[in-house]
Structure 1
């Protein structure tokens, strides 16, 4: 059997996406230091300049049939910036990320966000200011009777 040498996958990668005239920057990482730089940048470039600070939040989970389910991916979008943190393979979960997610001046919004918050608690993350958009905004596809 022949073994092929493979280059190790990068620990961080930045992608630029343009769709329908909109430009997005997606940072994919499993490095805590890259997450910290992303947080500092979006605070400076976006959040500090707005009276209402709002950050999207979503998680992806391991397969519940394979045992103990946990969060694997943490996604945080702000304006055109997006962080995809591969939290379960990360070298660490930094205190900067924990403090950011516990900041009571920032509203974290998502759909069915309760499970996301629950799964992140195993990493020592306690998000207190969350909004479940599914409970706040009525489903526009529902037919009123």
Structure 2
């Protein structure tokens, strides 16, 4: 039997999802450079001209049974653009991401966002302007 080498999974993928008549673009990545590209594009295309700047933020966490829990995935959403940054496997956490999340002119929104912000702090990320709606 011949052994076939498998190609490594790509470090970034872009998906286009059509749901209920709407189109979403989802960028999934481990690469800091792809995160920087996403931030520059959404700032240019959506946030720079917006009178009210709002970005959805969510984190998924590592398994608490395996030791200290931390953020594994950071998810950001603006309009139809979504970023899924697999932060715990990333090559690095870009300074542009840290600066973006500290921008006081942008409101970062999410359910139970305080826990998400707490889990991002070990990566040197501080989120200064958050909003969590009362449920």
Q: C-alpha displacement at 1:3, in angstroms?
A: 5.8
1:116 and 2:116 correspond: yes
Alignment of 1:1-145 (within 5 A): 5-133=5-133, 135=134, 139=135
Distance 2:60 2:130 in 1: 17
TM-score by length of 1: 0.90
- Structure 1 stretches of 4+ with a deviation exceeding 6 A read none
Q: C-alpha displacement at 1:125, in angstroms?
A: 0.2
Q: C-alpha displacement at 1:90, in angstroms?
A: 0.3
TM-score by length of 2: 0.96
Distance 1:125 1:28 in 2: 19
Q: C-alpha displacement at 1:5, in angstroms?
A: 2.4
Distance 1:80 1:49 in 2: 16
Number of residue pairs aligned between Structure 1 and Structure 2: 135
Larger radius of gyration: 1
Q: Secondary structure at the match of 1:42?
A: helix
Q: Secondary structure at the match of 1:46?
A: helix
Q: Secondary structure at the match of 1:49?
A: coil
Distance 2:114 2:12 in 1: 28
Distance 2:85 2:61 in 1: 13
Per-residue CA deviation, residues 10-32 of structure 1 (Å, 9 max, x unaligned), is: 00000000011100000000000
Distance 1:73 1:4 in 2: 31
- Which blocks of at least 5 consecutive residues in structure 2 are unaligned? none
Distance 1:49 1:22 in 2: 23
Structure 1 residues 3, 123: closer, same or farther in 2, change over 3 A?
Answer: farther
Per-residue CA deviation, residues 54-83 of structure 1 (Å, 9 max, x unaligned), is: 000000000111101110000000000000
